[in-house]
Every structure is written in C-alpha cells, then in structure tokens.
Structure 1
Amino acid sequence: HGAIPSMSRLGDPYDNAVIESFYKTLKRELMPETRRFSSEKEARNAIFEYIEMFYNTKRMHSTLGYMSPVEYEKIHS
C-alpha cells in the first residue's frame, strides 16, 4: 500500500509508543473485527469522523487528567 515504516534506533522502541497506542485504540473502537469498509472513501470518512467528532472532542484521556484534547487545550493554551 505504499506505507513507509518509521524506525527508531536499535533498542529504542519508545518514539512510536504514542501513535501505536492511538492505532490500537482506533482499531478497537472504530473497526471491530466484523466491520468492513466498502471503499477507501468510506474508510477515510469514518476515520476522520472518529478523530474529529469523537476522539478529540468527547473521548476522555487519562494522560490529560480525564479530559478530551479539546477541553485540555482550552484550559492550557
């Protein structure tokens, strides 16, 4: 699919930990094993909606004091 993996230095697995955690959450919450997209456009729209309408605005994050990213930014910007 043309994806280029991001590789850290040997023995340093932490640079991708945050995004790997996000991908795990995305897959678990948006794409259960039974869900299949009929097209790339449908998948892109579903992922965009998940991130912009739920993940950033409503989903609480423990690392942000159980606030959504939008709430955290309002307080800390």
Structure 2
Amino acid sequence: MIAPNQLWVADFTFVSTWQGFAYVAFIVDVYSRFIVGWRVGRHMHTEFVLDALELALHSRRPEPHRLVHHSDRGSQGEFNRLSQHL
C-alpha cells in the first residue's frame, strides 16, 4: 500500500501566452494527488525543474530512502539532470 511522500511523479508542460511560451514544471504526490512542488519559467531550463523538486523536498521533507521519484521525460536533458540530482 502506498502512503504520502512515497511516490512522486514529475512532468512539465508549456502554455502559449501573449508574451510567448510559459513553461511549468510540477511534482505530484501520487497518494494525495497534490502538487507538492512547482515552478514556472520563460525557458525550458533545468534550473526551474530542479527548483520544483527542491520546493517539494523542502515543504514535504520525505524520508530519503522511502521516496520513489518518476518522470516520463527521461529522454530529455532536463529530467536526465533531475535524475542525477536525486
């Protein structure tokens, strides 16, 4: 059985605005279905993805050896670096 802060999934998307694209990275706790970390940026840079993860880690403080983090964007450099950061 899954519990809070045991499985997080990450993704990012973009939204077209009058000023160009806005990129949004977010981390979701699968158990609660809450977004536990997020960031918005004007460019798809690794830093804003890592900021979303850092926000989630700081606010939720999961037990280090009990958290599984998953992303379906492993082929993109942003999430490859995210995996290395973890």
Higher relative contact order (CA 8 A, sep 6+): 2
TM-score, reference length from structure 2: 0.28
Larger radius of gyration: 1
Give the number of the structure whose residues are more often helix, by fraction. Answer: 1
